């Protein structure tokens, strides 16, 4: 009976000791840090490895230092040229100052997500649709710079921002297709007009050269007649220049 009484006395003490050790001993992984509060006051950052705390006097908040991938929900954005689009993005960030991420903001994950959503709408709203589609690298850099500056007080480093999708309404897709087709037709007409202009300049230069020597003009007539004669044509109507007739008369007179 005495042994049973002793066990009944020691078992609660053993249980209290185990609870004390569980509360006092903490193990932090390589990518974790512990923000320590002693009687509610910040007293330092510990880890990684084995950490000893004073139970009921000290508390620890675990902070993960690995890069976090945050998916920004789809946002409705109106571009500067009044086009409504749906945009979503992904943000890569990590905690670099554990005490600031714990003390300066209540929930740094939620705070970063909300800030990313408002920044995404604000930045993209200043650009036209063509810029959203063609200049994503520049927009990513602008958003990353703004987020990094605003989250610096929270001990957070925004490493990268990537816009994933820019979804456009079906009617707007058709309008963009018509605009692209009109732009291609405009370019074709401009190129054709430039070609006509260059050809006209070359013809003018040729006419000036031929006009300097009447004999060259006559040779040009004969060359054109030779080309037409080579084609499959039964009748050839060719204007006969009077100057060429005078030239023949002069040759006969001299002979």
**Range from 38-47, 146-155, 204-213, 218-227 carrying the lowest mean pLDDT:** 218-227
Q: Where are the domains of the chain?
A: 2-63, 68-173, 214-229+236-255
User: Look-up: residue for tokens 């009617």?
Assistant: 171
Query: Mean pLDDT score of the chain, rounded to an integer?
Result: 81
pLDDT at 139: 93
3-state secondary structure of 216: helix
H/E element holding 77? strand 68-78
Mean pLDDT value of segment 87-105 = 95
Instruction: Give yes or no for residue 3 having a pLDDT over 90.
Output: no
Share of the chain above pLDDT 70, in %: 73
Residue 161 is encoded by which pair of tokens? 């921002």
Q: Report pLDDT digits (tens) over 144-168.
A: 999 999 999 999 999 999 998 888 8
Mind giving me the DSSP string for 23-75?
HHEEEE-TTEEEEEEETTEEEEEE-SEEEE--TTTEEEEEEE-S-EEEEEEEE
Q: For residue 58, list its beta bridge partners.
A: 38
Strands (E) across 83-240 are located at: 84-95, 156-168
Give exposure, 152-189, as e/b (b: 16+ Cβ within 10 Å): eebbbbbeebebeebebeeeeeeeeeeeeeeeeeeeee
Distance CA 166, CA 74 (A): 9
For the question of whether the overall pTM of this predicted structure is more than 0.95, the answer is no
**Which of 83-87, 152-156, 225-229 is most confident?**
152-156
Phi, psi dihedrals of residue 65, rounded to the nearest 5°: -95, 0
**Range from 121-135, 152-166, 223-237 carrying the lowest mean pLDDT:** 223-237
Give exposure, 61-91, as e/b (b: 16+ Cβ within 10 Å): bebebeebeeebeebebebeeebebebbbeb
Mean pLDDT value of segment 59-78 = 93
Instruction: Give yes or no for residue 169 having a pLDDT over 80.
Output: no
**Which carries the bigger pLDDT value, residue 75 or residue 215?**
75
Residue 252 is encoded by which pair of tokens? 């006969």
Q: Which DSSP letter does residue 151 get?
A: S
| Confidence at 216, pLDDT banded by 50, 70, 90 | low
| 68-173: CATH number | 3.30.479.30
Q: Count CB atoms within 10 A of the CB of residue 37.
A: 17
pLDDT at 247: 55
Q: Report pLDDT digits (tens) over 49-67.
A: 999 998 889 999 999 999 9
Q: Count CB atoms within 10 A of the CB of residue 26.
A: 19
Instruction: Give yes or no for residue 179 having a pLDDT over 60.
Output: yes
Q: For residue 32, list its beta bridge partners.
A: 64
Are the C-beta atoms of 47 and 27 separated by less than 8 Å?
no
Q: Report pLDDT digits (tens) over 241-250.
A: 555 555 555 6
| Confidence at 94, pLDDT banded by 50, 70, 90 | very high
Instruction: Give yes or no for residue 133 having a pLDDT over 80.
Output: yes
């Amino acid at each position: 009976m005495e042994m049973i009484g002793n066990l009944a006395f020691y078992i609660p003490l053993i249980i209290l000791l185990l609870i004390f050790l569980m509360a006092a001993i903490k193990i932090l992984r390589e990518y974790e840090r512990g923000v320590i509060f002693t009687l509610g006051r910040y007293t330092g950052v510990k880890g990684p490895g084995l950490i000893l705390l004073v139970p009921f006097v000290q508390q620890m908040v675990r902070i993960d230092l690995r890069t976090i991938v945050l998916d920004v929900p789809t946002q409705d954005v109106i571009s500067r040229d009044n086009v409504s689009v749906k945009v979503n993005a992904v943000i890569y960030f990590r905690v670099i100052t554990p005490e600031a991420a714990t003390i300066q903001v209540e929930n740094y994950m939620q705070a970063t997500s909300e800030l990313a959503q408002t920044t995404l709408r604000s930045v993209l709203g200043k650009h036209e649709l063509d810029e959203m589609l063609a200049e994503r690298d520049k927009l990513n850099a602008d958003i990353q710079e703004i987020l990094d500056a605003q989250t610096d007080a929270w001990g957070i480093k925004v490493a990268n921002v990537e816009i994933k999708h820019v979804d456009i309404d079906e009617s707007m897709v058709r309008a963009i297709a018509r605009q692209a087709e009109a732009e291609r037709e405009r370019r074709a007409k401009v190129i054709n007009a430039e070609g006509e202009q260059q050809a006209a300049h070359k013809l003018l230069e040729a006419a000036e050269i031929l006009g300097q020597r009447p004999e060259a003009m006559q040779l040009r007539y004969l060359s054109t007649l030779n080309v037409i004669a080579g084609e499959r044509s039964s009748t050839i109507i060719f204007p006969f220049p009077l100057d060429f007739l005078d030239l023949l008369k002069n040759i006969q007179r001299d002979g």
